[in-house]
A and B are shown apart, each in its own frame.
Chain A
Amino acid sequence: MVGVPALVALTLLLAGLGGVGLVAIALGRFPGVARCAVYGLSAALCAAMAGIAGVFLLDPASDTQTLELPFGIPTVGAHLRLDPLSAFFLMLIGGIGALCSIYGESYGRHDSEPLRILPFYPVFLAGMGLVTLADDVFVFLLAWELMSLASWLMVLGGKRDGITLQAAYLYLLMAMGGTLALVGAFALMSSESESYVFSTFRAQTFPSLTASAVIVLTVIGAGAKAGFVPLHVWLPRAHPVAPSHVSALMSGVMTKIALYGLIRVGFDLVGLPEGWWGGLLLVVGGVTAVAGLLYAMVQTDLKETLAYSTIKNVGIIAIGLGLALAFRAYGLHVLAGVALIAALFHILNHALFKSLLFLGAGAVVQATGTRNIEQMGGLGRRMPATAAFFFIGSVAISALPPFNGFVSEWLTFQALLGGVALPVWTLRLATPVVAALVALSAALAAMAFVRLYGVVFLGRPRDPAAARARDVGIGMLGPMAILAGACLVLGIVPLGGLVVLRPVMIELLPRSGAALAASDVLTLVPLAASGSAYSGVLLVGVLLVLGLGALGVVRVLAGRACVRRGPAWDCGFPSDDPSAQYSAASFAQPVRRVLGGLVFGIRDVVTMPPPGSMRAAVHKVTLDDRLWKGLYARLGWGVHRLAVEADRARQMTIRHYLMIMFGLTLALLFLVAVTA
């Protein structure tokens, strides 16, 4: 950038985004104009933000920039800082934000009450951006809450019904609890260093106990927002009820900003990690990765399934971060670099394909008018473009080559294989177990997305609305096409992601320079010594040659054969009834029965009519979310009891109050007498 430093420009852009929210209110009387203005301006500002952040990140000459503004706590001011880590996340917010804004312009066209979303949308984007630039406690927490509350308002703005209200209420509670934990973490660091500014935290060496407490509180605080099990309960309820482009931003980007908080504190602020921090994240990540998909498998709501799969991916990222912390704690810098790149790459990849899938889901929901996948089917032939993009997203999220999801999970596996170098027994034994969990979660993801794509886009329509569905317009398809293209390009040429991620790695782990250094355009090489490599270009090239070769051979050999269309054979017993197809529930049945017992108390009851009776047999499945019943329902009950007791105290007579005050005075006097 010539003249204006990048940080100043980015701050102005964020302020501009905040201002766009006011534009929405000012144009409230003209909803159509307001919609175009808000989404158009948001898209432009986000694109500019991504551009500036990208230039900053790719320019080797750029240096960390700081800015002090006369706002915030008196005598402290507001501190902003731009470094490669924040630039990477700003790129993510800007890029995905711009695409979601373009999509939102078309998607929101049929919205009857656009003003329930419009003013909060740009503020949400600005809040997320400000989190990454914050360099003191006050600005960080302010931005964090801005992001939480703006997204909460948009969850609330989705529809006027009980489910939405419930989801929004739960979200607000969990967001407040998470922020409380973060306040605790920052308070510990502030009291130790007697400052609110991050730069003093960096210079400070915290005592082991304080640092550990800070990490635990940050894992809780950031984890509540990112969706670590068991703090995930709000996520699959709140993300789906918002409009689809907002769901995409919440699932694809906001969970990543939560992880940014964890990375900022864990790798930058508290100093050298201890070994067990990594272990904590490994365990949390492994459980989160598997549990998220087990939940996803039994959902019949399209967007809810996607939200649960977000939880799985957050788990994979947590595993990568945990490994990086563990390797760093024991001085294995190069392996730490590989693990950190794996986590950051998965952050980038998940942001891309989860946004893509939510945008695709939005198109499907708009075309069919329902979120229930049991009423869909056969949409692949009616919405071919949406289906193609959703297909790419599904393959990518199932961690299959040649798409980007595979690259980051492959790197995670490579880092896990390095776990043998750890000097601690527990961690060394934990890595293969975690690897098995990651493999299980990858296979479950493939199953969940075969189920999702198969039930929604393949087969025959299960509902007249699905049979009438039409593909959406270019305004919605365009952003999806760009995201799908990015998924493919990053899968074939991972170097494209690596050039952005390596500056971040060097910043956070300065001694990890050798990690992935041997990679080039053709191949990805995590560690030069091991000889393991991945080359997307060659794989895809050979695959294309072989596939086309097979096509040619068939063409030549089957020259005279012709292609006919006919009814499905189905072993000679075809049924015209579309409900005879395998449904989403029946597809999930084997896995529900085999693995579902872990998280659900599942009861499958089949009631057969007595012999001779013509009544239908009844198959009833009841699901109990054990976590909800065991933890949250009890917690809610406890709070309720407390409130009842407090209410009783409120209704006491004046005599009782006087007695309490007298007793309290006596007790205080006694305390003074004893201590004096």
Chain B
Amino acid sequence: MTLFSLALDVAHVGLTVAVAPLLTGWVRWVKARLTLRRGPSPFQPYRDLRRLLRKDIVLADSVSWVFIATPFVLFAIMALAACLVPTFTPSLALAPTSDLITLVALLGLARFMLALAGMDAGTSFGGLGSSREMLIATLAEPAMLMVVFSVALMAHTTALPNVALFVLAHPPVFHISLVLALSALVLVALAENARIPIDNPTTHLELTMVHEAMILEYTGPHLALIEAAAMIKLTLYVALIACLFAPWGMATDLSDARVVALGIGTYLGKLAVAGTALAVFETGIAKMRVFRYPEFLGTALLMGLLAIVFLYVNQVVS
């Protein structure tokens, strides 16, 4: 690992971590505009995080080390995951150390810790959130694996940079498997990021909440880290979708500053487009009942399976 590639990785993580609050702010701003409110500035999340970081910490009497360690573990995992998903360039130093399955498992570890933290204070809300979060994961994980499978069948690898390079090297074609796998991944991403219709990121004090229920007892800097981790996670999923299905614009030649600038520019553009699409989607749809999640994520699983079946059919035909 040369010094240059190390610096590149640091810049890469730094960029994702730095723009993550902006993406969340952007989604909120667009949603506010769509519902004819003025809404806070897209930069509000930065101010919120700074405010939280300066506050005191209040710990519930019964909590153990799990509760205290979770915010740091969560943040570290999301930042690590940001090292692994190519955004503006596929040439990353750390990316070869793991693949798509490892990435899914790392996010699983984050969820495991957060669900435990939800149960640590010994309240009913926390347990409720943990239980539902794990249910969603149970339903989403098989669908996610089907996406991994179909990607691996096309690109013959599960290493993310190689997938991006594979897609870049082939002309953009419309293939039904691609559409199905992409749709499945979008549904999984909505569920994993606690977005409507699975969860509502803006509700508090309601029985519908999942993610917010688990983090009810968090305060101050701990809460800031968890919020930041959630923001990075949303950015990561957008970057992941872009890397697998639309890596165009990524800088493969790092010696040319203009190419790199173009890569960063298209990356930010992709984030803006995805954020707008998410806001439009969330404005137009209502939250689901908990026991309709299986239908939603079952659809994702089915689409993933169909993507694989069509790929097999395609192999036979050609």
Contacts and interface: CB of A to CB of B under 8 A. Distances in A.
Given A532-B157, A562-B56, A569 B97 contact: no
A563 B59 contact: yes
A526 to B, nearest CB: 10
Given A410-B101, A436-B142, A531 B157 contact: yes
Interface string A354-383: 000000000000000000000001101100
A450 B116 contact: yes
B82 to A, nearest CB: 9
A590 interface: yes
Nearest to A457: B64
A655 interface: no
Nearest to B145: A439
Contacts of B139: 443, 594
B55 to A, nearest CB: 6
B137 interface: yes
B108 A443 contact: yes
A61 B34 CA distance: 74
Interface stretch (B19-27, B69-77, B238-246, B269-277): B69-77
A185 B51 CA distance: 71
Contacts of A34: none
B72 A551 contact: yes
Interface stretch (B117-125, B172-180, B256-264, B280-288): B117-125
A591 B293 CA distance: 11
A428 interface: yes
A420 to B, nearest CB: 6
Contacts of B162: 531
Contact of B98 (A534, A557, A562, A570): A534
A432 B220 CA distance: 44
B79 interface: yes
A80 B56 CA distance: 69
Given A439-B141, A551-B72, A590-B290, A568 B97 contact: no
Given A378-B62, A564-B57, A581 B102 contact: no
A378 B58 contact: no
Contacts, number: 275
A442 interface: yes
A219 to B, nearest CB: 26
Nearest to A589: B131
A132 interface: no
A557 B54 contact: yes
A27 interface: no
Contacts of A562: 56-57
Given A442-B141, A586-B131, A450 B291 contact: no
A543 B80 contact: yes
Nearest to A387: B64
Interface string A440-469: 101110110111011101111000000000
Interface stretch (B148-156, B195-203, B247-255): B148-156
Contact of B131 (A399, A549, A587): A587
Contacts of A560: 54
A395 B112 contact: yes
A283 to B, nearest CB: 17
A157 B87 CA distance: 61
A378 to B, nearest CB: 6
B168 interface: no
B30 interface: no
A436 B73 contact: no
A567 interface: yes
B157 A429 contact: no
Contacts of B290: 590
A565 interface: yes
B189 interface: no
B18 interface: no
A532 B102 CA distance: 10
A460 B73 CA distance: 23
Given A550-B75, A563-B56, A567-B61, A380 B124 contact: no
Interface majority SS (helix, strand, loop, mixed), chain A? helix
A550 B58 CA distance: 19
A649 B132 CA distance: 59
Given A401-B102, A436-B301, A440-B142, A543 B77 contact: yes
B205 interface: yes
- Classify chain B's interface size: 35 or more
Contact of B138 (A440, A544, A547): A440
Interface string A542-566: 1110110111001001101111111
Given A568-B62, A571-B216, A582 B119 contact: yes
A593 interface: yes
Nearest to A403: B109
A446 B134 contact: yes
B105 A399 contact: yes
Nearest to A545: B76
Contacts of A539: 80, 97-98, 102, 106
B46 to A, nearest CB: 13
B76 A546 contact: yes
Given A446-B134, A571-B216, A400 B66 contact: no
A529 B221 CA distance: 45
Interface in A576-620: 578, 580-582, 586-591, 593-595
B127 A587 contact: yes
A563 B57 contact: yes
Contacts of B187: none
Given A591-B135, A591-B138, A459 B120 contact: yes
Contact of B109 (A395, A532, A593): A395
Q: Which of A410, A533, A574: most chain B Cβ within 10 A?
A: A533
Q: Which of A428, A429, A546: most chain B Cβ within 10 A?
A: A546
Contact of B217 (A413, A453, A568): A568
A539 B80 CA distance: 8
B186 interface: no
Nearest to B140: A443
B316 to A, nearest CB: 9
A542 B142 contact: no
A228 interface: no
Interface string A398-436: 111100001000100110010010000000110011011
B162 to A, nearest CB: 5
B80 A581 contact: no
A530 interface: yes
B231 interface: no
Nearest to A388: B65
Contacts of B138: 440, 443-444, 447, 591, 595
B191 interface: no
B298 to A, nearest CB: 10
Given A446-B134, A562-B57, A588-B131, 12 more contacts: A438-B145, A440-B138, A454-B130, A533-B96, A538-B94, A547-B76, A550-B72, A568-B122, A568-B217, A570-B216, A591-B134, A591-B138
23 contacts: A391-B66, A395-B109, A400-B112, A413-B145, A414-B101, A429-B309, A432-B149, A435-B146, A439-B144, A444-B138, A530-B156, A530-B157, A530-B158, A539-B80, A546-B79, A554-B225, A557-B50, A557-B221, A558-B221, A561-B221, A569-B60, A575-B124, A581-B123
